[in-house]
């Protein structure tokens, strides 16, 4: 197969004049450079817009006062920021321990087993489920059954999104640990549980932290699953289990999409800047942790 491929390449090359081929190559190279500039330029453009618009509305008061009802000046984002931190925190607590245990099952006990293959497939599929569908699911599960929107429902929705991501990265990171390490731990007389938790998981520690942080970065910007679960409120997150709780992404949606007021748009840009900074910070942190490991 390889031979016939090479021959076809050779004959194809003979049929075309050299100059034409070189020209085509140049054109493609320019197009390729152009696409990279487009992708990176798009990012720079978006971030610059967020930075220039957002920087104007950032102030101490903006960061420390809660949001106000429509049309009232001087609203802040403190309640939404707190809500986002609470919801992502609770989601992490709910999702990470079982997801890691699941990842351990796939990596340590599930090599070659059919059940593990099915579960792995389910996790991959789950990563592709649109986040708004997860919102609908949790709405039925928690909001309908308890009768009110709550920050907790939002946290559960975020946890459902985090779960497969953390599970798959845990599995990938654990399978990168050399088998010899496992064998030597077992040869010393350790139990399987002890060897997994103290030796294998420990040597993959940086990778695991990276996985969790990336999942965290992903869910902290999620809006769609929070629309029907945590909703939005112009108040400090009081009853986490019983009342709607504000979050930065939903605040951005409320302030820009559903509001005609110029001052609210400005506040929306400020909130966008804050969430972007938060996510970029997590990403940079992840990079440095992962980089450390490679040395």
Partner 1 sequence: MQRRDRIFKWICAGCALCIGLLVPGIFLQLGLHSADAWREFGVGFLWSSDWDPAQELYGAWPNVAGTLFTTGLALLLAVPPAFVAALFVVEVPGWLGRPLSYCVDLLAAIPSVIYGMWGLFVLVPLMLEHVQPFFAETLGLAELPGGRWLLGEDYNGFGFLTAGVILALMILPYMSAVMRDVFRMTPTVLRESAYGLGCTRWEVTRDVVVRYGVRGLLGGIFIGMGRALGETMAVLFVIGNLMEVPAGLFSGGTTIAATLACNFAESDGLQRSSLFALGLVLLVLCLGIQIAAQYYLHLTGAKRGEAR
- Which of positions 121-150 make contact with partner 1 (CB under 8 A)? 121-134, 136-137, 139-141
| CA angle at 273 for the pair 52 and 164, rounded to the nearest 5° | 145
Applying the rule CB under 8 A, the residues between 83 and 102 that interact with partner 1 are 97-99, 101-102
Applying the rule CB under 8 A, the residues between 40 and 79 that interact with partner 1 are 40, 42-43, 45-47, 49-50, 53
Quick one: 64 or 124, whose CB is closer to partner 1? 124
Quick one: 60 or 147, whose CB is closer to partner 1? 147
Residue pair 165/203 in contact by the 8 Å Cβ criterion: no
Helices (H), the chain: 2-15, 18-57, 60-64, 78-104, 114-127, 131-138, 145-146, 151-175, 179-187, 192-194, 201-203, 205-220, 224-227, 248-252, 262-294
Applying the rule CB under 8 A, the residues between 183 and 202 that interact with partner 1 are 191-193, 196
- CB neighbours of residue 19 within 10 Å: 8
Applying the rule CB under 8 A, the residues between 211 and 230 that interact with partner 1 are 217-218, 220-224, 227-228
Residue pair 173/219 in contact by the 8 Å Cβ criterion: no
> Binding string to partner 1 for residues 157 to 176, with x set by CB under 8 A, is what?
---x--xx--x----x--xx
Residue of the chain from 105, 240, 261, 290 that contacts partner 1 (CB under 8 A): 105
Q: Taking the complex as a whole, how short is the minimal distance between the CB of residue 79 and partner 1, in angstroms?
A: 18
> What is d(CA 259, CA 185) in angstroms, rounded to the nearest whole number?
61
> Binding string to partner 1 for residues 235 to 274, with x set by CB under 8 A, is what?
--------------x--xx--xx-------x--xx--x--
């Amino acid at each position: 197969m390889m031979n016939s491929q090479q021959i076809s390449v050779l004959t194809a090359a003979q049929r075309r004049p050299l100059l034409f081929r070189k020209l085509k190559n140049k054109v493609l190279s320019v197009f390729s450079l152009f696409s990279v500039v487009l992708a990176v330029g798009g990012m720079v453009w978006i971030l610059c817009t967020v930075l220039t618009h957002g920087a104007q509305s950032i102030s101490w008061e903006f960061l420390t006062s809660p949001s106000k009802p429509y049309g009232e000046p001087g609203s802040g984002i403190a309640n939404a920021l707190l809500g986002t931190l609470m919801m992502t925190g609770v989601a992490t607590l709910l999702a990470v321990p079982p997801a890691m245990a699941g990842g351990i099952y796939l990596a340590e006990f599930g090599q070659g087993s059919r059940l593990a293959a099915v579960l792995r497939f389910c996790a991959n599929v789950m990563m592709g489920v649109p986040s708004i569908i997860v919102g609908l699911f949790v709405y039925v599960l928690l909001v309908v059954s308890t009768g009110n929107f709550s920050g907790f429902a939002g946290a559960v929705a975020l946890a459902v999104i985090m779960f497969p991501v953390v599970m798959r990265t845990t599995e990938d990171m654990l399978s990168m640990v050399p088998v010899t390490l496992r064998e030597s731990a077992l040869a010393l007389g350790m139990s399987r549980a002890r060897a997994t938790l103290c030796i294998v998981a420990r040597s993959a520690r940086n990778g695991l932290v990276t996985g969790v942080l990336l999942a965290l970065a992903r869910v902290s910007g999620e809006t769609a699953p929070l629309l029907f679960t945590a909703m939005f409120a112009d108040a400090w997150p009081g009853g986490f289990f019983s009342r709607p709780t504000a979050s930065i992404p939903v605040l951005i949606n409320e302030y820009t999409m559903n509001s005609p007021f110029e001052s609210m748009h400005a506040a929306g840009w400020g909130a966008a800047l804050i969430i972007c900074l938060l996510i970029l910070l997590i990403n940079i942190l992840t990079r440095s942790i992962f980089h450390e490991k490679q040395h």
